[in-house]
Structure 1
Amino acid sequence: MQLRLGPLKPVPLFFVAIMSAVAVQGAYFASRLTPPSKPEEWFPNNHMWVGISQFLGSTYYSADFEQYAETYFVWGLGEMDFGTFNEYKPDDHPATVRYDASFDLSTRAAQQAFLDTCQQLRTLRCDLPGCKGGQSSYVMQSGRSHAVSCVLEDFQRWLNATQSMSALPQGAAFVPLMERFRNEASPRDYAELPAIVAAHYHNIVGIVNGRLQHVAIKVRSNMLKMEPYGTGEKVRTLAQDFAQGLIPSMPASMKSLKVASQQFADFDLGQELVSGLFSGMAIAGPLTFVVLLLSTRNIVLALYAVISVASIVVCVLGFCKSAMDYDLGVGEAIAGIIVIGYSVDYVVHFAHTYCEAASEGHKTREARAIFTIENMGSTVFAGALTTAGSGVFMFFCLLTFFTKMALLICMTIFFSFLFSLCLFMGLCFLIGPENDFGNICCCLGTGNQVIAPAESAKDVLP
């Protein structure tokens, strides 16, 4: 590190240049991380759960359409009431449903809007990667029939067969007949494709205290139940945009149209993990700078340290993409947060010792950097070995989540040690602060208050 070629310091300059290039490539590959485009695998191929799944799939057959998600287009539901909800005891204090007081399906305009929605769902196109089946439609088809459970169409068939009525009832006569239909009719007799989309009338027609509170259209979509967030979220957006586009043309009693699906709710997990990753970084980044600034009391060192920490984070995430071809899944999102904590540790040790060198009489950057490496280098190296060693044990786990976390922890420690020693200390050798330069105490006019070293035992003991 002390080798000079005139005014140049080739060794630290070489390390800083190399680590800067590594950070740039890490940032490039980290930017290419995307949400999963295929279901995440949590078990290795030799795990018994994989064998059980293969056995069940090859021994007990089920229809192909059972692999595809069902979607509900619902009217009559308002927002959830969380007034008495206790998130720590959800069973004791559950949230309650608020119904839309303006919902009314007994008018001709409302009934026509409902039937029109059924027809438009049959022609809704979906050319997204998340729509499988090769049909380019949102709703699954079988021949000329569509997997749409349109309860009003089934109600019309029931009325024609049992009540000799060709038109839907309106006004006060609507709810009593609808309730009879819900209790007596069998979907097998009146639904369009009852085998593909099971129309449970008690579930999609909600009559509470003699009033129709909610009703739904149930469809079997061309999106797989196991569709990952990366491709499935776009299908959810398509369905939500479709519903929102219908609302302006609907009568006032039908403005509460919403889209619901168990798979759509699961996508919120992926969305929150991705947003949590970036919001966590946005919070941890400034806090890291503040902690480093308070611990070193030198704004220049704090800046160098934050650059090193940011480089470590992007290199670990970039490694996930470049070397392992991971997606931005659960493990990567969690690792992206904990990486910051691991990354700060070694940089803080070096930065603090660099400041402490001033109280030992070292004023130049070279002397302070040498003092730092001589007194803290072995400690940081030992810490890296023990921390990485603790993560090695997870490589022997069966669940892929733990083996992935072991890899991410070890790579975080590796990059943390590398960047703290080569980039951070290289910057300190090249352009590290000398004397009182960058000292916030001096800048604030409170005097030269360097961080004093710990007192020796003979100074404090009698």
Structure 2
Amino acid sequence: TYEWESDESIFTPENVQTMCSVEQEFFGLGEYPNFCQINGTTLQCNQPTQTVTHQFYGSIGSCPLLSFESVNATATNLYNNLDDPKLSFFLGISTPSRSPMYSKFSRSVIQMGAPLEGYVSEFDQQAEQDVDYTKYYEDVNDRFISAFNMKSTWLESAYRERQERNGLRVKWYSSTMVDIESNIIASGDFLLAIFSIFFVFGWMTYQMKNLFLSTFCMLQVIFSLPVAIVVYRYVFFISYFQFIHILVIFLVLGIGADDVFVFYDGWRIAGNDPSVLKLIEEGAPQEVYLKKRVEISFESTVGAVFTTSFTTIVSFLATGISPVMPIASFGILAATAILLNFILVCTLVPAILMTNHIWFDLGQRPCCSQEEDDEVDTAEAEALKGNDSLKGNDTQIGDTERNTERITEKNTETNITIESIPRIKHAHSEKKGIELKEMKEGKETKEGKEMKDMKASESGMEPQGERRRSSVHIGSQTDIGRSDSVTTDIEKKGAGGDQKSSAFELNPPDEKEVGVGEAKPDSSLDKLMVYGYYPMMTYKWKGQFVIAWGLFVSFLILGIIGLAFAVRLGPPDEPEQFLPEDHMFAEMSDDLRENFVPGDLSSFVEVTIPFGLDGFDRGDFNKYEPGKNRGSVKYNENFDFFPRASQEAFLFACNLARSKDCNQEACSFGKFAHPSDDAIVCFLPLFQTWFASRNPGLSTYNCTRSQFMSELQLFRNATTPGISTTDKQKLIGFVSDQLKFVAITVTTSIENSKSTVKKQDARLDVADGLAGQINDIGPSEFGMTTAVAASSTWVGVEAELGIVAGFYQGIALCFPIAFIVLFCNTQNIIISCYAIVSIVFIVGCVLSVVVWKGDALGVGEAIAGVMVIGFSVDYVIHLGHTFIDAMHTYHMSPRFDRFTHTAKSMASTVMAGGITTFGASLPLLACQHRFFPKMGTLMACTVAFSLTFSLLFFMSACLLIGPVGPVGDMSWFMEKGGCADYLRRIGIMHSHSKGKGTAKLEEKGLAKEGSEQAAKGPAKEGSGEIAGNETNTSSKSPHDEQKHQPKLAASIQHQSDAKLKDERAAPADIESPAPDASDVVNM
């Protein structure tokens, strides 16, 4: 297209010469004769009649400067024939309204030929022909870039710059060039994945505080991508890969890092499991207790990682059943990548964690000898024997002769207290020479001082410099996950020395004893959750959690509003654009619609009505290779066009197409066909005239069959007025010198810019109705009853409707599966209902953003709408599982206790995973390809809404409504039905008689503090203890008596609903938020 810079006529001698020179850039290519339309008679390129060059110069060639009179005469002829679509084609839309008339716009169209030399038809080996066309247009692209001196930069296509020549703005467009440019842009956008990798790597390093772990865990995530592609290509035999599949990289980065965080936390927490500590205490070999630690890590994390991975895989597989192949292939690749990432997390990450623990936590690198460590062990053992300050109080541990130390850490989540743990000497721990020297010289070590303090405390004396603390707390899961575990501490300190900090440890743990003073969260997210989120949610005013109630109601309203907007989402009104809005190719569609005289037939839907076809045999067609083996046409064996009845039926069809009414909104003129004389291409009347001129006295009705067929074949290849050779070759189908089909072409009054729904209505009501009427009157014995109204536009309509259908199919599949997964994971119907309602609201809010932006339900929205279900499950399922596990593991019955445990032990992990995915999506916003910024926005919105609804709506519901105790649990229902005992025996249902943690502590005989604390009564305010009126109700089940298990020194006390009503507001001192007495669980 051409646009003159001033508001004057574009048709001046200089401008016409400029337009001619621009078009010569195309015609001047040496390969143009091989791709142009061929004149059937001369076998030379046809003159491009729809070009400015042909209108003003008469032919392509040189571009001399024409006289003003010549240019003005041609322009006047165009103005005077506005009713002729062939001439008004060159004029701007405002031309008729101006007096005198003039146009500041003009345009040209160059038709290319098909098939190429060596091919039978344009559909013969179409993939190979497409390759030849693409190479040609690559040359065209290079030539135009060179002619206009265009420069591209990264993330800035040359086509986004305004192109002018002599003050004339020039734009050009080709669908093949669009594909070429899209691939170039996608290649540049792909490099932005590097920034996502750096962000995820940086965030992973910050969270883990360990460069070794973050590096190799990041490599594990990245490694899952090429493996997934290999499986996708050589196992599923899918070779289709386009720009849409690049999105998988950004998705896997976020999801993979989330899985690593969960497993990492599980590994750190497993180091403090009593069974692991027991093995170390008993002097078990390193491989034995490390194996146990890995087993516990798997038990606590693999289920959660599998559940979240499974729901995400299901959401992508739901897109895999889409009838739109690109979306389906994307879903398959994404699901494959998530599955392989899960497998690698379960296999490689444990090995990475184990290697880091042995090499850097314990200092046992394969390159270093252990002989020196063994010598130090022997010397230190001798020193310990003579150090009275390190002798333990044997009365605290019965008959044991081992020295003990007090290990104190504060558990801000569950307030579980453990009085003392035997101090372990590990044979392979690296030693510090400083404390060893102190012991040899008889100096008091840190451990010795602690033992003195213990004795002083028991005798009623205050240790110097410290406040007496008679209750000690094991650190929370979150705190432990962010610092050295008890296991590692014991291994390091077992011989009296601390381990040297690893070079890979970016933030070595503080050497200060955790239990002395206040234990503070280690990471910024932990601090945010403990000092910000938790006090905010538990703030009370007049006995009510006012902020929690406000958030619950606000997000309930927001979710309903989001759903109301989401239901408005529908298919797009026009074909989806993927290039930037300021890109030349994207602007062209707007120019053609807004700046030129309407009536150009190219802006309306073209329909072909064939006779003689019986469908299509796809055979070995592979939908993932759309350009290959597309199949073959099945011809009607009864088709015969020679009989008079067949010819008359064909002419009836031409006349019916012209007169067919159309009252649908998509039709512009009240008729199905466009009113232009060229709207209907019906070759038979032209052939009959041509036949009569060549055969005087004969007609197509009274000639012989051989005459009819031979003349028709000559007519098909000859250049004749009124119809192009290209059109005739499409409409008259000779195959191996046999007439197999004939067809009519109808340019309808349905504009391409009309919405998908409107075009579909016109198709079903008018186009299909027209074909039905034609078949009703056609002679079936001659195969004239197989007419269909076919159009490439219908393919686009079906694709867009397929996107919508696939979206709703995915929603219908994912929501029930998500609910089942949630219920199986939490085994609580109430929590599952909270979670599924939260997910519904999240999906509604994400899709409402699409409506707010003015977008429709396109490819990106269809993927995101289903994907968000799998993503949002990841957040609520961790919180819901932790809330339920607070009772099953720690016997926390009141909802306040369980909320506190969940908020402090899981909220920061959920937030960390959300930040990873959110950050991985941000580089997408900088991409040129419009699909990627759209998906980046949808991914970011998904994470944002998932985090806010899970932490503020879902958690508010748990805090305010419950459940309390086992209400809503599967066990609760089974108890009512009498099936509970059986389900417990076969391991399907949780047991409420004893928490997992309680059983483990009872087994190890580690819980003694509870009985002592109960005997002492409430502590004085400010003593560092938590006041409470709990009593020690230690008991033993008959099963335990039979097994002769050690006696439990302190039990976990159930809380009643009545006591829950008396919950006090959290104190103002958020440094150490303490719940009221009913919220305390002591051991």
TM-score class normalised by the smaller sequence: 0.7 to 0.9
Report the Cα offset of residue 346 of structure 1.
0.7
The verdict on how the C-alpha distance between 1:7 and 1:111 changes in structure 2, with shifts beyond 3 A counting, is: farther
| Residue 162 (structure 1) aligned to one of 670, 694, 715 | 694
Aligned: 1:15 with 2:538? no
Is residue 84–residue 95 contact of structure 1 (8 Å, CA) maintained in 2? yes
Report the Cα offset of residue 383 of structure 1.
2.0
Q: What whole-Å deviation, never above 9, does each CA across 1:121-180 have from its counterpart, x for those lacking one? A: 112234545445xx33332233xx35211122222222222223565337x934651442
1:212-361 equivalences in 2 (<5 Å): 212-225=739-752, 229-237=756-764, 238-252=766-780, 253-321=783-851, 323-358=852-887, 359-361=889-891
Alpha-carbon distance in 1 for matches of 2:739, 2:832: 64
Q: Which moved more, 1:401-410 or 1:97-106?
A: 97-106
Is residue 73–residue 260 contact of structure 1 (8 Å, CA) maintained in 2? yes
Aligned: 1:105 with 2:641? yes
Is residue 124–residue 139 contact of structure 1 (8 Å, CA) maintained in 2? yes
Q: Which moved more, 1:17-26 or 1:89-98?
A: 89-98
The verdict on how the C-alpha distance between 1:204 and 1:165 changes in structure 2, with shifts beyond 3 A counting, is: farther
Q: 1:35 is matched with which residue?
A: 571
The residue type equivalent to 2:708 in the other structure is L
The residue type equivalent to 2:675 in the other structure is Q
Report the Cα offset of residue 275 of structure 1.
0.7
Alpha-carbon distance in 2 for matches of 1:36, 1:179: 48
Q: 1:413 is matched with which residue?
A: 943
Q: What whole-Å deviation, never above 9, does each CA across 1:87-124 have from its counterpart, x for those lacking one? A: 45666644222112233333333322221111111122
Report the Cα offset of residue 311 of structure 1.
1.0
When Rg is computed on C-alpha atoms for both structures, the one with the higher figure is 2
The verdict on how the C-alpha distance between 1:12 and 1:153 changes in structure 2, with shifts beyond 3 A counting, is: same
Q: Which secondary structure does the structure 2 equivalent of 1:44 belong to?
A: coil
Is residue 129–residue 231 contact of structure 1 (8 Å, CA) maintained in 2? yes
Report the Cα offset of residue 2 of structure 1.
4.1
Question: What TM-score do the two structures reach when normalised by structure 1?
Answer: 0.85
Q: What whole-Å deviation, never above 9, does each CA across 1:161-212 have from its counterpart, x for those lacking one? A: 2223565337x93465144223335786454xx47xx762222122334543
The residue type equivalent to 1:340 in the other structure is I
Alpha-carbon distance in 2 for matches of 1:406, 1:43: 15
Q: Which secondary structure does the structure 1 equivalent of 2:670 belong to?
A: coil
Alpha-carbon distance in 2 for matches of 1:241, 1:165: 39
The verdict on how the C-alpha distance between 1:165 and 1:391 changes in structure 2, with shifts beyond 3 A counting, is: farther
Q: 2:964 is matched with which residue?
A: 434
Alpha-carbon distance in 2 for matches of 1:453, 1:102: 81
What is the number of residues matched between the two proteins?
447
The residue type equivalent to 1:154 in the other structure is L
Alpha-carbon distance in 2 for matches of 1:455, 1:406: 47
Aligned: 1:393 with 2:923? yes
The verdict on how the C-alpha distance between 1:452 and 1:31 changes in structure 2, with shifts beyond 3 A counting, is: farther
Alpha-carbon distance in 2 for matches of 1:205, 1:311: 57
Aligned: 1:449 with 2:990? yes
The residue type equivalent to 1:139 in the other structure is A
Report the Cα offset of residue 344 of structure 1.
1.2
Report the Cα offset of residue 399 of structure 1.
1.7
Alpha-carbon distance in 2 for matches of 1:18, 1:127: 47
Does 1 or 2 have the higher relative contact order (CA < 8 Å, sep 6+)?
Answer: 1
Alpha-carbon distance in 1 for matches of 2:615, 2:693: 38
The residue type equivalent to 1:345 in the other structure is D
Is residue 688–residue 700 contact of structure 2 (8 Å, CA) maintained in 1? yes
Aligned: 1:123 with 2:659? yes
Report the Cα offset of residue 431 of structure 1.
2.6
Alpha-carbon distance in 2 for matches of 1:52, 1:116: 39
Aligned: 1:403 with 2:933? yes
Is residue 860–residue 935 contact of structure 2 (8 Å, CA) maintained in 1? yes
Report the Cα offset of residue 417 of structure 1.
0.9
Alpha-carbon distance in 1 for matches of 2:674, 2:622: 40
Q: Which secondary structure does the structure 1 equivalent of 2:807 belong to?
A: helix
Alpha-carbon distance in 2 for matches of 1:221, 1:199: 20
The verdict on how the C-alpha distance between 1:247 and 1:454 changes in structure 2, with shifts beyond 3 A counting, is: farther
Q: Which secondary structure does the structure 1 equivalent of 2:619 belong to?
A: coil
Report the Cα offset of residue 294 of structure 1.
1.7
Report the Cα offset of residue 273 of structure 1.
0.8
Alpha-carbon distance in 2 for matches of 1:302, 1:179: 76
Q: 1:181 is matched with which residue?
A: 712
Alpha-carbon distance in 1 for matches of 2:568, 2:591: 37
Q: Which secondary structure does the structure 1 equivalent of 2:704 belong to?
A: helix
Alpha-carbon distance in 2 for matches of 1:454, 1:270: 57
Q: What whole-Å deviation, never above 9, does each CA across 1:377-429 have from its counterpart, x for those lacking one? A: 12222222221111111111112211111111111111111111122112212
Aligned-CA RMSD value: 3.5
The residue type equivalent to 1:325 in the other structure is G
Runs of 5+ consecutive residues of structure 2 not aligned to the other structure: 1-536, 1005-1083
The verdict on how the C-alpha distance between 1:371 and 1:286 changes in structure 2, with shifts beyond 3 A counting, is: same
Is residue 601–residue 679 contact of structure 2 (8 Å, CA) maintained in 1? no
Report the Cα offset of residue 84 of structure 1.
3.2
The verdict on how the C-alpha distance between 1:366 and 1:165 changes in structure 2, with shifts beyond 3 A counting, is: farther
The residue type equivalent to 1:177 in the other structure is F
Report the Cα offset of residue 227 of structure 1.
5.5
Question: What TM-score do the two structures reach when normalised by structure 2?
Answer: 0.38
The residue type equivalent to 1:159 in the other structure is F
The verdict on how the C-alpha distance between 1:84 and 1:326 changes in structure 2, with shifts beyond 3 A counting, is: closer
The verdict on how the C-alpha distance between 1:439 and 1:102 changes in structure 2, with shifts beyond 3 A counting, is: farther
Report the Cα offset of residue 331 of structure 1.
1.8
Q: 2:670 is matched with which residue?
A: 136
Report the Cα offset of residue 449 of structure 1.
0.8
The residue type equivalent to 1:266 in the other structure is G
| Residue 200 (structure 1) aligned to one of 720, 727, 731 | 727
Q: Which secondary structure does the structure 1 equivalent of 2:558 belong to?
A: helix
The verdict on how the C-alpha distance between 1:92 and 1:249 changes in structure 2, with shifts beyond 3 A counting, is: closer
Q: Which moved more, 1:179-188 or 1:37-46?
A: 179-188
Alpha-carbon distance in 2 for matches of 1:52, 1:246: 38
Alpha-carbon distance in 2 for matches of 1:412, 1:175: 69
Alpha-carbon distance in 1 for matches of 2:832, 2:701: 75
Is residue 149–residue 199 contact of structure 1 (8 Å, CA) maintained in 2? no
Q: Which secondary structure does the structure 1 equivalent of 2:854 belong to?
A: coil
The residue type equivalent to 1:239 in the other structure is A
Alpha-carbon distance in 2 for matches of 1:347, 1:36: 33
Q: Which secondary structure does the structure 1 equivalent of 2:880 belong to?
A: helix
Alpha-carbon distance in 1 for matches of 2:762, 2:673: 12
